[in-house]
Chains A and B, each alone.
Chain A
Amino acid sequence: MVKKRLYLELENCIGCRSCLAACTQCGGHEQRNRNYVYDVNPLVNRQTMPLMCLHCVNPACARSCPAQAIQIHETGAVLSALVEKCIGCQNCTIACPYGIPKFDTEQNLMYKCDLCIDRTKDGIPPMCASVCPSNTLQWLTDEEIEAKQKQFNLDNGKWVTSMPYLEGETNVRVNLPGILQGVTKLF
């Protein structure tokens, strides 16, 4: 099976929030969504951007967990806290540089994006990527991501964000909007 990654093309987002709704429907998610959609500049324009767990290669949430409840799947996905191990200290929510983990006070349990592990472990795209109508969220092989890079009119090596704009190497690839890179994309 070819390894595929979640790939985000941020500026495509139209704010429909299909990804949030789809997230609730994933097996094991117990009808609670784990992703976010933000207005970039709410008083000025309608641009939105999705935000979800980027599945760090060296995840701060798991590093800060006293109970070793946050496990990393062999595909690289950083999983939700194991229900029997999570002790409800909420260290992970403080540690995550992107503010992703959610905490249920009633159930004394953290939950977060697990990249729909029951799907992605078999090569099926995660719920959010399979419903996204604007190709903001895509499920691609590394070659396809490379081809994307060539497709865009970029010569300045500024393409995929990962490092300078994120806090560490991530399994999810993010493509910064052209506005910031000062370039136009060719479609």
Chain B
Amino acid sequence: MQSTISATKRPERSINNAFASQYAKSMFLSIVGLAILVFIGTRMFTHIDLNLYGYMVGTITFIGGFFYRFIAWGERPPTKIIIKKGLKLLFRKSTAKTAVNHLAIYDFIKKRGFYRWLQHVLIGWGCVLACLVTFPLVFSWMYFTMADNGYYTVVLMGMDLINIKADGIIAWFSYNALNISAIMVITGVSMALYRRMKNMQARAEQKFVYDFLPLYLLLFISVTGLLLTVQNVFLHGWMQPQMSLIHQFSVIVTLIYLPFGKLAHIPFRPMSVFARNYREHYGDEHMKECKVCGEKFVSVEQSNDVINVLDVNEMNFNMEKDGFNLAELCLPCRRKYRIARFSGSPTHQVKVKEANQNARG
């Protein structure tokens, strides 16, 4: 086992696979890609909104942080396996359904509680909506022009997309999209903060930096953003330039923080679709039978993958005397086997179902 792993590993050890090389490559490609998109979107750099220049720099800093975190994370042996096999299985029939379920409607969070689901939908979709509006504007992939006729022309990637009435319904939603998203996020964050203050389960484990800071950052962004509208509409733009700088600061700080704290789950979450595909595909293919009771409990592929990953980490759970690896036993049998090791009598061989282990009776 050892020799096969090192034999397959050696050719990978080139400078091209080093962290720094991968990082440089990813950064270079994304910045070039971004530049090309901006070139196209702005009709050869003629329509850049320099008001939003700070956000552009902030985004590039974010990409730097993101690749730093993501590539380091992808180097871990188990992560590598899931990413590699997940990409291979990306075009399964069920991918679309799983992706919608995990990434859009968060069904699994609803099972953890309706309140938590609602707050997550509000925060999650508020942020997505805001990003969909902001980033095209920052990189000028989308902008508005008006010939003196009361109609805006929406220009998307340099192409005239649609003419909309300046006081029409689409225009209203365009002007207010960020206000709507701010209200969604503020509602969601307030719900989350309330839960974190009241719920004893949450209070037991939460930490300021990990659990509260991202909420306060989102609140900071949303409140300062909403204040911009308030200043424009009710205060004739009083202190608006100052507030717009504060808002810009709040967004850039959050973008820099994003890959490293709790919010890092946003870019990493698509992995759960990979994991589901991985389990479904290899589960259909060939299930592993428990070496003691014969029950099918996991795919052969995953059992082997885990054994290999542990091997890379210099852990080996081969039970030479009994002729199996611990990853080849189903969970109840593995626990019984441990009891057997403790007591000396072969608990795992006794053909009795484990006693009820659920404290609710």
Q: Which A residues form the contact surface with B (CB < 8 A)?
A: 10, 17, 20-21, 23-24, 26-31, 33, 36-44, 47, 49, 51, 58, 60, 63-68, 83-85, 87-91, 93-100, 104, 106-109, 117-118, 161, 165, 167-168, 174, 176-177, 179-180
Contacts and interface: CB of A to CB of B under 8 A. Distances in A.
Interface string B306-337: 10011001010100000000110101111110
The 8 closest A-B pairs by CB, nearest first: A27-B204, A99-B334, A118-B204, A89-B275, A20-B359, A87-B272, A108-B108, A28-B204
B357 A20 contact: yes
A23 B108 contact: no
A31 B204 CA distance: 13
A107 B204 contact: no
Given A95-B306, A98-B335, A165-B341, A88 B357 contact: no
Main secondary structure of the interface of A (DSSP, over half): loop
Interface in B70-105: 73, 76, 78-79, 81-83, 102
Given A49-B342, A106-B111, A167 B79 contact: no
B5 to A, nearest CB: 15
Nearest to B347: A40
Contacts of A176: 342
Contacts of B275: 66, 87-89
A73 to B, nearest CB: 10
Interface of B: 73, 76, 78-79, 81-83, 102, 108-109, 111-112, 200-205, 262, 265, 268-269, 271-272, 274-276, 278-279, 298, 302-303, 305-306, 309-310, 313, 315, 317, 326-327, 329, 331-336, 338-339, 341-345, 347, 350, 352, 354-355, 357-360
Given A88-B275, A89-B82, A109-B112, 14 more contacts: A20-B359, A24-B359, A36-B335, A38-B355, A41-B347, A42-B350, A66-B79, A66-B81, A84-B262, A85-B268, A94-B306, A117-B205, A177-B342, A177-B343
A40 B345 contact: yes
Contact of B76 (A30, A41, A66, A88): A66
11 contacts: A20-B358, A28-B201, A36-B357, A68-B73, A87-B271, A90-B298, A91-B302, A100-B335, A104-B111, A108-B272, A177-B343
Contacts of B83: 66
B309 A64 contact: yes
Contact of B347 (A27, A28, A38): A38
Given A49-B343, A64-B310, A66-B78, A97 B108 contact: no
Contacts of B343: 10, 40-41, 47, 49, 177, 179-180
A63 B290 CA distance: 23
Contacts of B315: 58, 60, 63, 167-168
A85 B267 CA distance: 11
Nearest to A117: B205
A64 B352 contact: no
Contact of B359 (A23, A27, A47): A23
A106 to B, nearest CB: 4
Contact of A99 (B271, B335, B342, B355): B335
A85 B345 contact: no
Contact of A38 (B102, B109, B335): B335
B353 to A, nearest CB: 9
A40 B338 CA distance: 10
A108 to B, nearest CB: 4
Contact of A98 (B205, B338, B347, B357): B338
A140 B208 CA distance: 30
Contacts of A117: 204-205
